[in-house]
């Protein structure tokens, strides 16, 4: 293989990864039931040309049963849940609405947020486990153009 074609292959793979990331952001940022999704995830900017930041991580609730085999996950399936981010605003405005990040079955999420302080205020539609009160709220600081990893571990109380 020639050196030039190897560079072209690497560039093509990188371009595909960017496209997959943007499409996944659109999917994860979709919204329903009155909670706003992130603004224009494909552009990563707000209407005032402010560069957004990415918050990503896992929300895990466990154990799901009293004893877990070594080859099996002991975490709850997080399908149907979203992590809610509430901006810490001085005055109410359009940008002061809660936003949600949909969780995958394994609890992974990713969301674009405008720079500022947010409260990870809980799970939508509810947080049914014993450890929810100690897991939430947590403060998250978002910086424009930066990605931060924010993980949440919830104790289900099952022993």
Domain boundaries, the chain: 3-155
Enter the tokens of residue 47. Answer: 């209407």
Ramachandran region of residue 130, left (φ > 0), alpha (ψ -120 to 50) or beta?
Answer: alpha
Q: Is the pLDDT of residue 28 over 50?
A: no
Task: Summarize pLDDT for 31-66 with one digit per residue, the tens.
Answer: 333 344 443 333 344 445 689 999 999 999 999 988
**Which value, to the nearest 10 degrees, does the dihedral of the CA atoms of residues 44, 50, 52, 53 take?**
140
117-to-28, 30, 51, 88 alpha-carbon distances in Å: 21, 21, 15, 6
pLDDT of residue 49: 65
Q: E strand or H helix at 25, and its extent? A: helix 3-28
User: So what's the architecture of 3-155 in CATH?
Assistant: Sandwich (2.60)
What's the whole-model pTM score? Answer: 0.68
Task: Summarize pLDDT for 90-103 with one digit per residue, the tens.
Answer: 776 666 889 999 99
């Amino acid at each position: 293989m020639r050196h030039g074609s190897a560079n072209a292959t690497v560039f093509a793979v990188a371009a595909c990864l960017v496209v997959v990331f943007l499409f996944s952001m659109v999917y994860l940022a979709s919204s329903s039931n009155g909670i706003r999704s992130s603004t224009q995830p494909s552009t990563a900017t707000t209407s005032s040309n402010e560069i957004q930041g990415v918050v990503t991580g896992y929300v895990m609730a466990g154990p799901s049963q009293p004893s877990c085999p070594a080859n099996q996950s002991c975490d709850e399936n997080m399908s149907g849940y979203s992590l809610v981010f509430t901006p810490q605003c001085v005055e109410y405005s359009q940008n002061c609405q809660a936003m949600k990040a949909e969780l995958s079955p394994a609890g992974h999420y990713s969301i674009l947020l405008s720079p500022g302080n947010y409260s990870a205020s809980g799970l939508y539609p509810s947080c049914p486990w014993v450890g929810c009160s100690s897991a939430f709220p947590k403060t998250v600081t978002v910086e424009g153009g930066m990605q931060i990893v924010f993980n949440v571990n919830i104790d289900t109380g099952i022993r």
